[in-house]
Amino acid sequence: MPKSSTKSRSKRVTLRTKHKILKKVREHKRKQNKELKNKLKKGNKKQKITAAVIPNDWPFKEELVNELEMQAKREEAEKERKIAEKKAARVEKRKAIAAGTFEAVKTKAERLAEDFVVKKKERAAMIAAANDPDGSRRAFYREFMRVVNASDVIIHVLDARDPLGCRCVDVERHIIRNNPNKKIVLLLNKIDLVPKENVQAWLKYLRGELPTVAFKCATKTGGSAV
């Protein structure tokens, strides 16, 4: 069995011992800092002269005591004044911060609203461009409005075989809303292609909303409409 060396010993210690040593070092430094602070406080503190430290045989003791009392009152008043000034300064600072915060929030909200409007317009333009790449819808709308503005009476032609399928209520509402003086007349066309009872029922229904006239597409002999 090999013999252990006696010339050198390891300086390694267990973690438990190491943490104990570090803890004691921290406590020692904390104690030293505390003692140093207490010494500095005691060294900076001024000793106040009171009536108890003035000898009784002092010839002007009463005047000196009165002067000390007045000085103490002045110091107390000055201290209260400084406290009040600091308090007022804190209140003004809080008000300024609150006002600045409100203004900042208001400015941010206005900026976000403007960005939202711009993005909304851009999105609407993109949707319109996607739905109408060649601009035919815009051209049709311009032509439609030109015809409406130039007319006094607008005739809305409906197929008697499917009147509601041919009817565009949105166009009628648009004309009534933007041009209340314009007159709209419904024309029920091709009544000769449906039974007479159906024509009468549709005329009764449509005349309850707008003036309606019936129209026949052609005669049996190929003549003009009746």
At 38-68, the pLDDT tens digits run: 887 776 555 555 555 666 676 777 777 788 8
Percent of the chain topping pLDDT 90: 8
Distances in whole angstroms, Cα of residue 142 to Cα of each of 121, 156, 176, 182: 20, 18, 17, 18
pLDDT 10s digits, 109-164: 888 888 888 888 777 777 766 666 666 777 777 888 888 888 888 888 888 888 88
d(CA 162, CA 157): 11
118 alpha carbon, distance to own chain's centre: 16
Strand order in the sheet with 153-159: 153-159, 183-189, 212-214
**pLDDT for the residue numbered 222:** 47
Residues 6+ apart with CB under 8 A from 51: 61, 65, 68
Query: Band of the pLDDT at 9, cuts 50, 70, 90?
Result: confident
| Residue indicated by tokens 């311009």 | 142
Token pair listed for 114: 């403007």
Q: What pLDDT score does 39 carry?
A: 82
Is the per-residue pLDDT at 226 higher than 50?
A: no
